[in-house]
Amino acid sequence: MLLIAIISVLIIGGFAAWLAESRNRDWPKWVSLFTILLSSLLVIPLFSLEPITMQLGATTSQWLLVYEVPWIPRFGISFLFALDGLSLLMVALTIFLGLVALASSWNEIDHQPGFFQFNLMWTLAGVTGVFVSLDLFLFFFFWEIMLIPMYFLIAIWGYERKAYASMKFFLFTQISGLFMLLSILALAFAAKAITGNFTFNYFDLVGLNLDPDIAWWLMLGFFIAFVVKLPGFPFHTWLPDAHTQAPTAASVLLAGILLKTGAYGLIRFTVPLFPQAAMEIAQVAMLLGAIGVVYGAVLAFAQDDFKRLVAYSSVSHMGFVLIGIFAWRELTLQGSVMQMVAHGLSTAALFMIAGALQHRLHTRDVSEMGGLWKDMPRMGAIAMFFIIASLGMPGLGNFVGEFLVLLGAFQVNVPITIFASLGLIVAAIYSLIAMQRVFLGTPIANRNLRDFDSREVSTMVLMMLGLVYLGIHPQPVFDMVEPSLNSLYELTGPATEWVGALR
Partner 1 sequence: MYDLIWVIPLAPLVSFVILFATQGNLGKTQVAYLGVGSVGLSALIVVAIAYSWLNSGSSEPYTYAVTSWINVAGFNPGISFYLDGLALTMMLVITGVGFLIHLYASLFMEEDGDYSRFFAYMNLFVSAMLILVLADNMLLLYVGWEGVGLCSYLLVGFWYEDPANGAAARKAFIVTRIGDTAMALGLFLLFMHLGTLHIQPMMQAAKQTWATGDTIPTIAALLLLGGAVGKSAQLPLQTWLPDAMAGPTPVSALIHAATMVTAGVYLIARTHELYLLAPLAQSTVAVVGLATLLIAAFTALTQTDIKRILAYSTISQIGYMFLALGVGAWASGIFHLMTHAFFKALLFLAAGAVIYSLHHEHDIFKMGGLRTKLPVAFWSFLIGSAALTALPLTSGFFSKDEILLAAFDVNPWLWAGGLLGAFLTSIYSFRLGFVVFFGQINTEPSAPAGARMAVPLIILCGLSIIGGWFHVPVDAVFPTIVDSHHDQTIAIITPLVPILGVLLAYLLFLRKSLDLSTLLESLVGVQLRKFFFSHWGMDWAYDKIFVVPYTRIARMNQADVVDMAYEGIANITSIFHYLTSFTQTGQLRWYAFTMVGGLIFILAIIVGII
CB within 8 Å of 301: residues ≥ 6 apart: 426, 429, 430, 433
Q: According to the binding rule CB under 8 A, does residue 465 interact with partner 1?
A: no
DSSP-assigned beta bridge partners for residue 66: 82
The stretch among 24-32, 92-100, 140-148, 397-405 that binds partner 1 (CB under 8 A) is 397-405
Q: According to the binding rule CB under 8 A, does residue 320 interact with partner 1?
A: no
Secondary structure (DSSP) of 66-106 = EEEEEEEGGGTEEEEEEE-HHHHHHHHHHHHHHHHHHHHTT
Q: According to the binding rule CB under 8 A, does residue 118 interact with partner 1?
A: no
Q: Contact with partner 1 (CB under 8 A): which of 13, 129, 371, 401?
A: 371
d(CA 442, CA 374): 9
Q: Contact with partner 1 (CB under 8 A): which of 35, 244, 303, 347?
A: 303
Q: According to the binding rule CB under 8 A, does residue 286 interact with partner 1?
A: no
The C-alpha torsion from 342 through 343 and 347 to 348, rounded to 10°, is: -60
Q: Contact with partner 1 (CB under 8 A): which of 277, 290, 340, 388?
A: 388
d(CA 219, CA 198): 19
The bridge status of strand 59-63 relative to strand 52-56 is antiparallel
Instruction: Report the Cα–Cα distance between both ends of the chain, in Å, rounded.
Output: 46
Q: Contact with partner 1 (CB under 8 A): which of 25, 192, 360, 374?
A: 374
**202 or 328: CB nearest partner 1:** 328
Q: According to the binding rule CB under 8 A, does residue 445 interact with partner 1?
A: no
Q: Is residue 59 classed as helix, strand or coil in its secondary structure?
A: strand
Q: How far is the CB of 340 from partner 1 (least distance, A)?
A: 15
**149 or 232: CB nearest partner 1:** 232
Q: According to the binding rule CB under 8 A, does residue 410 interact with partner 1?
A: yes
The stretch among 47-55, 183-191, 207-215, 399-407 that binds partner 1 (CB under 8 A) is 399-407
d(CA 115, CA 29): 11
Q: According to the binding rule CB under 8 A, does residue 174 interact with partner 1?
A: no
Q: Contact with partner 1 (CB under 8 A): which of 31, 121, 227, 299?
A: 299
d(CA 111, CA 213): 52
Q: According to the binding rule CB under 8 A, does residue 442 interact with partner 1?
A: yes
The stretch among 8-16, 188-196, 211-219, 299-307 that binds partner 1 (CB under 8 A) is 299-307
Taking the CB of residue 213, how many other CB atoms lie within 10 A of it?
9
Contact 309, 303 (CB under 8 A): yes
d(CA 492, CA 57): 10
d(CA 91, CA 43): 8
Residues 471-490 contacting partner 1, CB under 8 A: 472-475, 478
Q: How far is the CB of 301 from partner 1 (least distance, A)?
A: 5
The stretch among 109-117, 119-127, 281-289, 469-477 that binds partner 1 (CB under 8 A) is 469-477
d(CA 365, CA 175): 32
**141 or 478: CB nearest partner 1:** 478
Q: Contact with partner 1 (CB under 8 A): which of 51, 377, 476, 494?
A: 377
CB within 8 Å of 375: residues ≥ 6 apart: 443, 447, 448, 449, 451
d(CA 394, CA 125): 34
Residues 221-250 contacting partner 1, CB under 8 A: 233-234, 236-237, 240
Residues that bind partner 1 (CB under 8 A): 168, 233-234, 236-237, 240, 298-299, 301-304, 329-331, 334, 371, 373-374, 377-378, 381, 384, 388, 393-395, 399-400, 403-404, 406-408, 410-411, 417-418, 421-422, 424-425, 428-429, 432-433, 436, 439-443, 472-475, 478
